[in-house]
Chains A and B, each alone.
Chain A
């Protein structure tokens, strides 16, 4: 029934608070509700599990490694690329891009959408014609 477990080395996404949107590694479990959490660009600290969403990615580390070993383990497991190629990671990247669009960018996207729809409709019309012919 459960596939993603809280374990040392599990990568999680922070979904609330100051570090919202960051990927962090669970390096130790403090008690029933909290974990010790670390990431290459933040100071190691505790976080409630309610603030974390587990991902599929896991890295191979011992309990509470130092920053250097942590970063080396993350490079070895290629966390960044795995995340950015996963469908969840790609969705987040697209959401961020959409939110940061300029007014001019939105205009260009509108033109592109209309063009694409035109091409699709032409193909569809062609296929329909062949079907009835």
Chain B
């Protein structure tokens, strides 16, 4: 017999109405078997000795009392955690982005980052959407899933996507500025390689499904007669 399986215990004193139990105090005494416990213990209820309480170290009265009473802020026990992910969004789901530069693009969901944003990729070769963060609120989750098992997304986190901190330059002359601006516009090569490695496995599993590649390459739009509240995504 499996040790964990137990029939859920029905309560001994069911409510007739809220606040009124079916059995009286004396009946409950009998039902709980307190008489049997007492009998086993020789007439009195078994007691255990109290643990000796150590004397608290003597507190000296404080030397300094502040002039005005300062209000203490209320206790806040909330913990920061990433936004609750909708049940329809699982790794490999095709999402439709609704706002921003890539609005209407159908995109593959990879994972949720610790900030709560969703990590998403086009794949870049198919629709031009790179590895990118997207907010869950600006996304429609479709029920189409892509096989994502061959992709390793461990190394991506919010810091990867943060703005690069520039070293503070003293106010120089005009020549200084032009030299700096030209370097910033290109993507570093390692980010391009990351994109390629993530997309390689993805594109293989996408090409396994007929029409999925052209589906991801097309944008979504509402046409005449489409009622969003009646559409099944």
Which of B188-233 touch A at CB < 8 Å? Answer: 211-212, 214-215, 218, 220, 230-233
Interface assignment of A81: CB less than 8 Å from any CB of chain B: no
A68 to B106, CA, bound (A): 52
Binding-face segment, A12-20, A32-40, A47-55, A100-108: A100-108
* Interface contact A103-B214, CB-CB below 8 Å: no
Q: Is the CB of A102 within 8 A of B214?
A: no
Q: Judge if B144 is at the interface, Cβ distance under 8 Å.
A: yes
List the B side residues contacting A43 at CB < 8 Å.
none
Interface bin, chain A = under 10
A79 to B137, CA, bound (A): 48
Q: Which of B43-60 contact A (CB under 8 A)?
A: none
Assess whether A111 is interfacial by the CB under 8 Å rule. yes
Bound-state CA distance A103–B221 (Å) is 11
Q: Which of A101, A107, A108: most chain B Cβ within 10 A?
A: A107
Give the complex CA separation of A93 and B106 in angstroms: 29
- Verify B218–A107 contact, CB threshold 8 A: yes
Q: Which residues of B contact A104 (CB under 8 A)?
A: 94, 142, 144, 211-212, 215
- Chain A residues touching B, majority SS: helix
A106-120 vs B: 1/0 string, CB under 8 Å? Answer: 011001000000000
The answer to whether residues A111 and B214 also contact, given A100-B232, A102-B143, A102-B233 and a CB cut-off of 8 A, is: yes
Among B96, B142, B218, B232, which residue has the most Cβ atoms of chain A within 10 A? B232
Question: Which among A99, A100, A104, A107 has the greatest number of chain B C-beta atoms within 10 A?
Answer: A104
Contact of A107 among B211, B230, B231, B232 (CB under 8 A): B211
| A102 nearest CB neighbor, chain B only | B143
- Give the distance in Å from the alpha carbon of A1 to the alpha carbon of B233 in the complex: 46
Nearest A-chain residue to B231, judged by Cβ: A103
Which 6 pairs show the lowest CB-CB distances between chains A and B?
A: A104-B144, A103-B142, A107-B215, A103-B233, A108-B211, A102-B143
Show 20 A/B contacts (Cβ-Cβ < 8 Å), sorted by A.
Answer: A99-B230, A99-B232, A102-B142, A102-B233, A103-B94, A103-B96, A103-B106, A103-B143, A103-B220, A103-B231, A103-B233, A104-B142, A104-B144, A104-B212, A104-B215, A107-B214, A107-B215, A108-B211, A108-B215, A111-B211
